[in-house]
Chain A
Amino acid sequence: MKSDNYIRLELPSRSSNEAVARGVVAAFAAQLDPTLEELGDIKTAVSEAVTNCIVHAYPDRIGIIVLQCQIVQDTLEIVVRDRGRGIENLEQARRPLFTTGGAERSGMGFTIMESFMTELRVQSQPGKGTTVRMKKRIFSRRVYQ
């Protein structure tokens, strides 16, 4: 499908980049004129995906996170990719409350991405990395004005 506009950005997996990533995506998404709630959902989902790269994909080194966004008609598509540790059992990982992160994590990241976005797809290969694809359809307010 033809993309109307896109961004592609590389970030080192430093925790200070969590705010950078969601800020950039929010600024890009503004073109679709989302409501405050839709914008909050997008920022939260991006924060979850990027934090997972920082915490789980690269637990003891700084790796590269690739963040891509594109707009296709009324839909924002987001891809977050790492080349880190990967996930052995995806079905288990996506279950609410499942975590390998101990008391500092709650195991709700994938559940939040899934319920806040229109679509969530996760691909992973142990030792190779993980790709998270999310879509959010924005029901433009302009139409009704």
Chain B
Amino acid sequence: MRYTSYVQDQHLTIALAGEIDHHAAREVMRAVADKIDAYLPSLCCLDFREVTFMDSSGIAVVLNAIRRMRELGGNLEIKNVPAQPMRVLKTAGIEKLMELGSEAK
């Protein structure tokens, strides 16, 4: 699991890469929380383009990020989600909580 992030106009983008399972989730969760708390953005975007696998551990990562952004009065967005993570996110009903963006090709 790797990630990179950048901030532009109050918008924080965190690009996640690799496999998000329980083994990797704690580190990802901490990284996302630390970045949000450091930049206090109005919008946080998780870019899933390079995510090669995700299970339910990733759902908790997304839900925690949504919760933190709402506490700050901001929003969370997810984009470029490949097919496998998309199936997991849809099963969890995440699209009812937020815009899921289009599926990555």
Contact = CB atoms under 8 A, between A and B. Distances in A.
Our verdict on whether A and B bind, yes or no, reads: yes
Interface of A: 15-16, 18-19, 22, 36-37, 40-41, 43-44, 47-48, 51, 54-55, 103-106, 108-109, 111-112, 115-116
Interface string B58-86: 01100110000000000000000001100
B22 interface: yes
18 contacts: A15-B21, A18-B22, A19-B21, A37-B83, A43-B53, A47-B53, A48-B55, A48-B56, A51-B22, A51-B56, A51-B57, A55-B22, A104-B60, A105-B56, A108-B56, A111-B92, A112-B92, A116-B91
B33 to A, nearest CB: 11
Contacts of A40: 53, 83-84, 87
A51 B23 CA distance: 9
Nearest to A113: B56
Contact of A111 (B23, B53, B91): B91
Interface string B76-105: 000000011001100110000000000000
A105 B29 CA distance: 12
B46 interface: no
A22 B19 CA distance: 12
A116 B85 CA distance: 13
Contact of A108 (B22, B83, B92): B92
B21 A116 contact: no
A15 B23 contact: yes
Given A15-B22, A19-B19, A112-B88, 14 more contacts: A15-B23, A18-B21, A22-B53, A37-B83, A43-B53, A44-B84, A51-B21, A54-B22, A104-B26, A108-B91, A109-B55, A112-B55, A116-B87, A116-B91
Contacts of B87: 37, 40-41, 44, 116
Contact of A18 (B23, B59, B60, B63): B23
